[in-house]
Amino acid sequence: MEVINIKGTDDTPSVTMDKDNGVFLIQGRSLPEDVTLFYQPILDWIAEYGNQTNDHTDMTFKLEYFNTASSKVLLDVLLKFEEIKNNGSDVTIKWCYREDEEDIKEAGEEYEDIVEVPFEYCECDEDWNIK
């Protein structure tokens, strides 16, 4: 599978989807002008990945902010991983947040209530190193 490696900007997160190296990461701020245009290739990639997954998948989110439009598409991403899990694959969501961003942790908890995928919460320092 082709690797997705998108460099983040002030309005879009960095995204890495790398099946061979087992790296699945969305990090940064998500408030793209056209949320569908930005996230559709990622959703398509995840759908393709679902046809032949790794033995285990850790999908990691390290978000410092996301807008309402992004929150909907992030749910779509999570639902894709729920589908993968329901098809028999081992999937974990790693939801990382900074110590001073309890609202991000709470957003993860709300997502966890919606999707049937186990979540692990990771508190991070300012440089996104897990404490």
Which pTM does this prediction carry? 0.96
Query: Which of 5, 99, 15 lies closest to 59 in space, CA to CA?
Result: 15
Between helix 35-49 and helix 68-86 the angle, nearest 10°, is 10
C-alpha separations of 10 from 25, 27, 31 in Å: 17, 11, 8
**pLDDT (0 to 100) of residue 130:** 83
Confidence class for position 55, pLDDT limits 50, 70, 90: very high
Confidence of residue 58 (pLDDT cuts 50, 70, 90): very high
For the stretch 59-80, pLDDT in tens is 999 999 999 999 999 999 999 9
Read off the pLDDT of residues 16-36 as tens digits, 9 standing for 90 and up.
Answer: 999 999 999 999 999 999 999
Q: Which pLDDT does position 42 carry in this prediction?
A: 98
Tell which residue, 91, 68, 69, has the closest CA to residue 79: 91
DSSP H helices, 50-89, are 68-86
